[in-house]
Amino acid sequence: MPPARAPRRTWRRTGAPPRRPRPRAWTPGCGAIAPAPARRCGTQAPSGPARGARTAGPRSAAGRDRRRRPGPPGSARGGSATPSGCFTLCGFSTASTQLLPPTAVTLQHRHPHLAVRLVQADPAECFELLEMGEADLALVMVTTTSPPLGDARFDQQLLVDDPLDLVVPVNHPLTSRERVTLADAAREQWIVSRPESAYHQLTVAACVTAEFTPNLVHQADEWETGAAMVSQELGVTLVPRRGRLSPEWSVTRIRLSGEPVPARRIVAATRRGASNHPVVAEALEIVRARCEILYSDPTGGTASPPQTTNPPQTTNHSEGEIST
């Protein structure tokens, strides 16, 4: 005679509903596992340290390239001449204004199946995005807190040195000189961005190199705000050569002389080994060509006469942020 079966434990007896087993074939969707930037692009997150241009699959094109024989030049994946997926460029304010947009347009024109995404970020955040695999190429200015060029996590390539101009009130005594060095402004009150910003570090480092400690009085996080303060004779400030100012403000922009000429160093950074990926290399080539156009000033920013930003009957300049 078979043994009696134990009574079933029901919801009423245990006080809890019975468990329903999860179907074995269930897997979360792409949007459930991909980080926010990847969800916005409609692709999955990268699985390797060198993502490059991503395809619809979970592994990056650059990751597959390490396991396959490389495809033809300009292809994002071995065996295919059509790059696809999401390719992310990031950079500080000036790069995001003058370098990255033309690069994105050129890449999308050449590769219609490639979704190019732009992110404006400060230098420290750009390196974080690279390290996390959320960006493929970053344009950053070198600061005192930047990773060293020999950092094993990144490949860094010098793009250009952008000279810094001294911005003073329109009737300032320095405007009458033929040659002005940064040390000539050592006794001035200075207008800089917030202490945690990259441009604050850049200004202080330039002044220390010129052998003086700047008297930091006012803070402004935008070029226009700083120029407005200068026009009211509240102090002086430094603006990169590519940082444009509105003609609304009565200020004079002086190209500095001396050795070395104060400048911000702009580099292109990728994860280690990713710079050889075809799409990354193509983007770098476009950025370099754009830099040659923007920085083709034959004077190199030395021994140049003062330039008035707001001369009579003349309009000039526009744009920018100090906190790059």
β-pair partners for 216 = 190
Q: What mean pLDDT, rounded, does the chain reach?
A: 75
pLDDT band at residue 183 under the 50/70/90 scheme: very high
pLDDT value of residue 73? 35
Q: What angle do CA 256, 323, 208 make, to 5 degrees?
A: 45
Tokens 């290399």 map to which residue? 281
pLDDT reported for residue 270: 96
**Per-residue pLDDT tens digits for 266-288:** 999 999 999 889 999 999 999 99
Residue 219 to residues 226, 240, 251, Cα–Cα distance (Å): 8, 17, 18
Chain mean position to CA 226: 22
Band (222; pLDDT cuts 50, 70, 90): confident
Q: Which two tokens stand for residue 173?
A: 């005594």
Query: Is-contact 320 264, C-beta < 8 A?
Result: no
Q: Is the pLDDT score of 229 beyond 80?
A: yes
Range of lowest pLDDT (62-76, 161-175, 184-198, 284-298): 62-76
* Residue 308, both tokens: 């008035």
Confidence of residue 87 (pLDDT cuts 50, 70, 90): very high
pLDDT at 296: 76
Measured distance CA(180)–CA(313) in Å, rounded = 26
Q: Tens of pLDDT along 70-85?
A: 333 333 443 456 888 9
pLDDT (0 to 100) of residue 259: 85
Q: Of 258, 263, 301, whose CA–CA distance to 158 is shortest?
A: 263
pLDDT number for residue 8: 52
Domains of the chain in start order, with CATH, are 36-160+265-294 (3.40.190.10), 162-264+300-308 (3.40.190.10)
Exposed / middle / buried, residue 266 (Cβ in 10 Å: 0-12, 13-18, 19+): buried
Q: What is the pTM of this model?
A: 0.66
173-202: average pLDDT = 93
Report the DSSP beta bridge partners of residue 98: none
**Distance of alpha carbon 172 from alpha carbon 178, whole angstroms:** 13
- Per residue in 20-38, pLDDT (tens digit) is 544 433 233 322 223 344 3
Give the mean model confidence (pLDDT) for residues 170-181.
94
Strand-pair partners of 189: 215
pLDDT score, position 5? 58
